[in-house]
Every structure is written in C-alpha cells, then in structure tokens.
Amino acid sequence: MTPDQAAREQSLGGIYVLAAYLLWGFMPIYFVTLAPTSPWEVVAWRILLALVFCAVLLAVTRTWGRLLALLRNRRLVIWTVVAGVLIYVNWQAFLIGTLTGHVVETSLGYFINPIATVLLGVIVLHERLRIAQWVAIGIAAAAVVVIIVAVGTVPWIALTLAASFATYGLVKKKIGPAVDALSGLTLESLWLIPIAIIQLIVVATTTGLTMGQVSGGHTFLLLLAGVITGVPLLFFAAGARRTTLTVVGILQFIAPIMQFLTGVLILGEPMPAERWAGFALVWTAIAIFTVDSVVHSRRQRSALAAGVSDPV
C-alpha cells in the first residue's frame, strides 16, 4: 500500500468511526420515540432483531463459514457468552435511563467510560499509568462523590454503563481480531435469545406487549431496532481497524456530548448547580486524559521514528 493509499484508508477510517459515534449520539432520540414501550420490551426486540439483521448480513456476505469456525473454538465461544451478558447489562441500563428521564445520566456513564477502561487495565492487566492518568481518575472519582453527596442519589445508571462497557471492551481485547464484528454481534445476540424470550413473556403477561398495538409508525420504528443496533457497530469495526487509536479516543466523546445535549436541551432534564459541578469535574478529568493521550501518542511516534522505545 502506497503512502497516499494508507492516508486515504486512515481518513476513511476516521469517517466510519465518526459515523458510528454520531449514530450512537442520536440513539436517545430514537428510543424516546418508542414510548410507551418499556425498556424491557425494547431490549428484548433489540436482541431478536439484531440477530435477524446479522443473519441477513451473513447470508448476503456469505460469511457463515467464518461463524461456524468460531463455534468450533470453545475458548472463543465462552468469551462471546461473557461479552453477550455484558452488552445485555449495558443495553438494559441504557434503555432504563433513556426511557425513564435519565438521558443526562447515561451521558455521564459514557463520559467516564474511557477512564473506567484505563482503571480496569490497571486492576486486571496490571498496566502502569502515567501521572496525568492517575490525576484524571482521581478527579473523575471526586465527580461521582460530588454527585452522590450533592444530589443525594448514587448515579447507578452511569456507573453500570461505564463498568459494563469498560469490561466489554476488555473482553473484546481478550478475543482480539479472531472474532470479526459481524460474527461477534451474531453470537452475542444468539446467546441472549433466552433472556429476550423470557422478558417478552413477562411483559406480555403483565403490562402487555406494544409491538403492533400503538400505530403503524411505532411498529416500523420498533422493527428498526436491529438495524439501529448493528449499523453503528459495523461502522465502528470498519473504522477502528483503519485509523489510529488517538482518533478513536478523541471521537468517542461525540456520543456522550450529543446525549448530554439531548437530555438538557431537547428533553429538558433538570441540571441543578450541584449536578453541573459534578459534570464540570468529569469534563476536567476528560480534558486531562485526552491531552495526555495525544501527547503520549506523539512521543511514541517520535520515539519510533528515532528508533527509541518509549519506556512509559
């Protein structure tokens, strides 16, 4: 590949990643339009329809062989089961937050997710952190304490989102490139089918299912749940392997920023001074974290160009 081709591929990767985060940023608006469907019913349909969407793509791309090969690898199958459980927890917490008037709190979860990922790397992988990263973690922790003390409630939705997605990322790192995005989403959705069926049965026997009961437009939007789930994941997978981690790291804040603005400006969720203070601390931590990541990345490139390894 020529330098020009490599540059084009990297730019294309950035566009794909940007598209993924923009779609994720718009998700709260999409899910809010599904009212009066409960979070439990939405997640159940999301699982079932994501599997249908993946099956169609596997048929069109003729990649069933790759999926069958993965099923013969016991270690990878177990990891996809773990990934499926984690993404289920993430989806359910996100839908509960979005459909119960806590979109701002869901944005908080994705704001602190990168910092949670780094902290998980220290705890599980015994990675070494730079001073700036420790400072960012400390400020983020202080932000959570401020919100708990000032607002009087534990932001469990935000903490669940951050913890589940950070752990999901760790599992994906363990799996590595052995499982492509489409096969991974297919298996993760497949393992969750029993949970989806149970949730639909419970909803049907209690509050009643809304699929096909509200309006034609509502049914159409609910049927799009599989596509809405799968498309940004595929965009992200296509982009992440083409562009740099620095680009991915910077662009990842687009989604929570959009979610925050949606909650405050469109849905009119309350933002008392105490909550602003907590978010200000989070944004300070993110700024320190991002600047440190960019500076470290540049130092690494300079060191590699000079033939010297960066010890930090």
Q: Is residue 212 part of a domain?
A: yes
Q: Where are the alpha helices (DSSP H) in 176-306?
A: 181-191, 193-205, 216-223, 225-240, 245-251, 254-261, 273-306
- In angstroms, the first-to-last Cα distance of the chain is 31
Write out pLDDT tens, residues 27-60. Answer: 999 999 999 999 999 999 999 999 999 999 999 9
For residue 271, the model assigns a pLDDT of 87
Q: Is residue 214 part of a domain?
A: yes
Write out pLDDT tens, residues 255-309. Answer: 999 999 999 999 999 888 888 888 899 899 888 888 887 787 777 777 666 654 4
Write out pLDDT tens, residues 129-162. Answer: 788 888 888 888 888 888 887 777 888 999 999 9
Q: Is residue 270 part of a domain?
A: yes
Whole-model pTM: value is 0.86
Q: Is residue 272 part of a domain?
A: yes
Looking at residue 255, its amino acid is: A
* Share above pLDDT 70 across residues of the chain, in percent, rounded to a whole number: 94
Cα–Cα distance, 178 to 184 (Å, whole number): 10
State the total domains in the chain.
1
Q: What is the domain extent for residue 126?
A: 3-306
Q: Is residue 81 part of a domain?
A: yes
Q: Using the predicted structure, report yes or no on whether residue 14 has a pLDDT greater than 90.
A: no
Cα–Cα distance, 234 to 269 (Å, whole number): 31
Q: Nearest CA to 24 among 85, 101, 113?
A: 113
Q: Using the predicted structure, report yes or no on whether residue 312 has a pLDDT greater than 50.
A: no
- Range of weakest confidence among 161-165, 177-181, 184-188: 177-181
For residue 245, the model assigns a pLDDT of 63
Q: Using the predicted structure, report yes or no on whether residue 98 has a pLDDT greater than 50.
A: yes
For residue 118, the model assigns a pLDDT of 80
Q: Is residue 144 part of a domain?
A: yes
Q: Is residue 312 part of a domain?
A: no
State the chain's mean pLDDT as an integer. Answer: 87
Q: Is residue 311 part of a domain?
A: no
Please report, for residues 126, 138, 312, the alpha-carbon distance to residue 131 in angstroms, rounded to integers and kept in the order given.
16, 11, 10
